Amino acid sequence: MATRRGFGALRRLPSKRWQASYTGPDLGRHTAPHTFASKADAEAWLVHERALASRDDWLAPRRRAELAERLAPPTFAEFARQWLADRSLKPRTREGYEHLLRRYLEPEFGELLVSDLTPALVRRWWAGLSPDHPTVNARAYALLRAILTTAVTDELLASNPCRVRAASNPPTKKEIRPATLTELDVLVKEMPDQLGALVLLCAWCALRVGEVLELRRCDLDLTRGVVKVTRAVSWVRGQPIVGTPKSAAGTREVSVPPHIVPALERHLEKHVRPGADALLFPSMRDHERHMQPTVLRTAWRKARDAAGREDLRIHDLRHTGATMAAMTGATLAELQARLGHSTVAAALRYQHAAQGRDAEIAARLSDLARPKDE
């Protein structure tokens, strides 16, 4: 039963709670967004609404509630998910960020308001991470810092609370020892016959594995002696995703060393189906599908063990290719273009001193010091 008043009306519900409503300046009937435990609380709401209704900027109660919810400060989980949605990322990168959010950041900060995050909270979280996974810890911290940098830009925070010195720097990786020419020969021979050419392309052309696994017959122009890199494949949640190469500079043409052209010609003739779109290295079971990474890794482990290089990852063949290119006298800019890097700094990571080169340099220095008449 409703109780009439000078302003508005009250009604006691079967649940014993109270409902309040009134006719607004727009002549519409407006009910409180929620019910009240007591009649006094409902009356207080009507008193407040009567004061608002006398103003020129009056809004309906539900409209005010909607605006208040929209303008409410976000939780970290809400802000982080929107931050991720707003970015154009490679599928594999997005999957990695989502994992870091779920596993490392949201359990600690998810329900907190972004504005409530402090240096002390971040420092306590960092100190509690397992020391057994330093690289993943560094990536999680770097992601947190990037998200909160945007929060500072959006004026949700006065300053970034991520202040742990060097926390986003992963530990120094072990020095990669490129494969020697002898080891490379063993690797090619020990791989399954249909994958020997993959090793040659990764090493002598310094291609990324994802780039090689997406190569098709039309991408290999052996008349001109080039391989065209315009796409790459990555695996996300067990499914192949074809996209552009890792960086803008990754779209490129790479000259093929003439000595591996015959091997590539044999591979095309023996293992690649006709048609411009035929994959160079398809699935062993279905030539229309991409090769599963697990299949490639299994074959690779056997080959590297046979070469006595249990430490060598298949990606390290790219380092091998960069090292051999540097030994020919290629400049950093030339290496950058061949490797498909956007910066010279990135190309620098792939330069390695070849075994025996330092002794050769020392011998040549002695040649300079030796008298001409000796």
**Catalytic center residues:** 208, 315, 318, 341, 350
Q: How many CA atoms lie within 13 A of 56 on its CB side?
A: 0
How far is the C-alpha of 203 from the C-alpha of 321, rounded, in Å?
5
Q: Following DSSP, what letter does each residue of 59-97 receive, concatenated?
A: --HHHHHHHHHHHSPPBHHHHHHHHHHTS---HHHHHHH
Does residue 167 contact residue 143 with C-beta atoms inside 8 Å? no
CB atoms near residue 331 (< 10 Å): 11
Closest CA to 39 of 21, 20, 58, 25: 20
Token readout for 297 is 């890794």
Does residue 286 contact residue 265 with C-beta atoms inside 8 Å? no
Token readout for 219 is 């991408």
Closest CA to 228 of 252, 201, 198: 252
Strand order in the sheet with 18-23: 2-4, 9-12, 18-23, 29-31
